Amino acid sequence: MEKLKKIWLNGHLIDWENAQIHILTHTLHYGSGVFEGIRCYKTAKGPAVFRLKDHIERLFYSAVVLEMDIPFSQQQIEEAVLQTIKANELEECYIRPIVFFGDKMGLNPKGAPLHIAIAVWPWGAYLGGKETVDVKISKYIRMHPGSADIKAKMCGYYANSVLASLEAHKENFDEALFLDYEGFVAEGPGENIFFVEQGKLLTPKSDNILAGITRNSILKIANDLGIETKEEKISPERAKLASEAFFTGTAAEVCPIGKIDDVLIGQAKVGEITSQIKKVFEQVITGNNDAYLSWLTFLK
């Protein structure tokens, strides 16, 4: 990763190389942290962070689930994000706030020092910038919703995603796709998924997925475009019959899918509805669509 200037840690901007943690950090050993992925985009009015408030609200929700008492307000963390971007003199970047327990061993983190950090760095197309990506249905299932609070974004959950990603890449696919415990389509390792069926936009119900902020944005955009949307259970067989499919997420943005397993989706071309939604989304994040300017927080 490119070395930058500053990382925000516990209320202070420190030099990148000094952002160190103890080897017995609880979160390193047990996954007991919470985090967010956020993007800042270059616009004609200067750098702007996409849906900053919503991301920080979820960060605080996740922290409550892990009984973490963050010693800053949500507004202070939002300001810290903007401060960190400025300190690194970036016009576009990926933003990673993380809340983690410090040095303490044993599963119960009570008594461990609590830390919060914000790092930023340039990050381009997450899935390689291809026109469409090839996706493999994973042999691993998405974590059972009865195993944890799936509305929270916890570090430990992503061991599941790492396994699926390793499997997919080993078999020369760009990304994996999870089924849920009932055998229905859930999501990617770090993305939500949409399908187009007879001109309608379908996406899995939110009860077995992390219902992402980008996913929510796409549902709003599609509704405003007059595209009928529906959240429902989707079997893998039905998914492979879709005329279009695409991933959404902070890292992936809107990423068209050209193949699921060995089945081509829409002849592996970007479909009309996907293209329409992707175009509006790109207008939104670059500040070129006034209807959604409230989703952007501009650096002062």
Q: Which residues are known to be catalytic? A: 153
- Neighbouring CB atoms inside 10 A of 297's CB total 18
Q: How far from 40 is each of 82, 122, 192, 290, CA to CA, in Å?
A: 9, 9, 20, 17
- Determine the Cα–Cα distance for residues 192 and 234; give it in Å rounded to an integer: 13
**Amino acid identity of 297?**
T
Q: How far from 277 is each of 11, 246, 248, CA to CA, in Å?
A: 38, 10, 11
Q: How far from 179 is each of 133, 166, 186, 192, CA to CA, in Å?
A: 18, 16, 5, 12
Minimal CA–CA distance to 300: which of 117, 78, 124, 120?
78
Query: Each residue of 159-195: b (16+ CB within 10 Å) or e?
Result: ebbeebbebbeeeebbbbbbbbeeebbbbbbbbbbbb
Question: What is the distance, to the nearest Å, from the Cα of residue 242 to the centroid of all Cα atoms in its chain?
Answer: 24
- Determine the Cα–Cα distance for residues 218 and 68; give it in Å rounded to an integer: 31
Minimal CA–CA distance to 193: which of 181, 178, 174?
178
- Neighbouring CB atoms inside 10 A of 251's CB total 16
